[in-house]
Structure 1
Amino acid sequence: MPETWDWDYTLCIPNDPRAVTVCRHTLRMILTMHGLTGLVDTAELLATELISNAVRHTKGPAALRVRRSREGVVWIGAWDTDPAPPEPPVPLEQAVEREEGRGLGLVVACAEYWGWQPSARFGDRGKYVWCELGVA
């Protein structure tokens, strides 16, 4: 039976590349426990890109937030301590040859919507870079 309510989880992480794997596994568990296994692979890919950018491009803590709305949208966001907007995404067809800078292009290609917004957490200014996936 599909869920008809909303939920919201936040995982606070240190600035450590190993935290990306912790986020990926945590997200898989959250979606599986809520019966959303059909979203797991895409959600893991997108969360990995968002959190990797947060850890790679900032010095402070970060956070993964995942929530589901009553309307059935799964929202995945990565918070980091840099208030500057992310670099514009490179279209995937142009990013194939690059070793870096493909992450937001993947997000644009796989998510229904994406964006960023300034946000403060833990007493630090920063931003959320987020994306949305519809629940089928």
Structure 2
Amino acid sequence: MPKDPFPMPFEQPWEYEISFPRDPRGPKVVRAALYTMLTAHHLDPLIERAALLTSELTTNSVRYSDHPVCVRVRWEHPVLRVSVSDSNPELPAVLKPGAEDECGRGLFILEVFADRWGGFSLGKEVFGMGGKTVWFELGLGDPPPIPALAA
């Protein structure tokens, strides 16, 4: 019988992927999963910014695409990268909304709170697929202390 694995070292890369239907509840589900992932991997200092930015990107995907959305969360010490892919090939534009505007703040928020971000279009029908991916990165300063279980 195989032994239970030890927790991964903090510096070791990992990746999770979540796909969800075009449903307005999807961003909330992804936020809950993101909180769980980042807490389990002791990345608490990144949780609030990651949740805010992921929420903005997934909400835009639900609003402006017609098919399921895919969120990929990747840790490669000391950088967390979150990528959101959907079926709409149009890359969004960064706007600086006025105080009275009710929408259009998503990428402005991304510009302010992400360490780096970008996106790319797959076109309308490239090899039977189309769509785009928008991503952001958050860097972590010092690593948290190693949990007793992993030591």
Q: Is the CA contact (8 Å cut-off) linking 1:77 and 1:129 kept in structure 2?
A: yes
Residue 96 of structure 1 and its aligned partner are, at CA, apart by 3.3
Alignment of 1:58-97 (within 5 A): 58-70=65-77, 72-86=78-92, 88-91=93-96, 94-97=97-100
CA drift at 1:97:
2.4
CA displacement, residues 41-93 of structure 1 (integer Å, 9 cap, x when unaligned): 110000000000000001111011110114x110011100011211x2123xx
Which residue matches 2:57? Answer: 50
Of 115, 119, 124, 1:116 maps to 119
Q: What displacement does 1:117 show? A: 1.4
Q: Indicate how the Cα distance of structure 1 residues 32 and 95 shifts in structure 2: closer, same or farther if over 3 A, else same.
A: farther
CA distance in 1, matches of 2:99, 2:86: 26
Larger radius of gyration: 2
Aligned-residue CA RMSD in angstroms?
A: 1.6
CA distance in 1 between partners of 2:114 and 2:70 (Å): 19
Unaligned runs of 5+ in 2: 1-8, 142-151
Find the residue that maps to 1:101 and give its secondary structure.
Answer: coil
Structure 1 residue 102 corresponds to structure 2 residue 102: no
The aligned length equals: 129
Point out the structure with the larger helix share.
1
Going from structure 1 to structure 2, the CA distance change for 1:130 and 1:96 (only over 3 Å counts) comes to farther
Q: How many percent identity over aligned positions?
A: 37
- Give the residue type in structure 2 aligned to 1:29: T
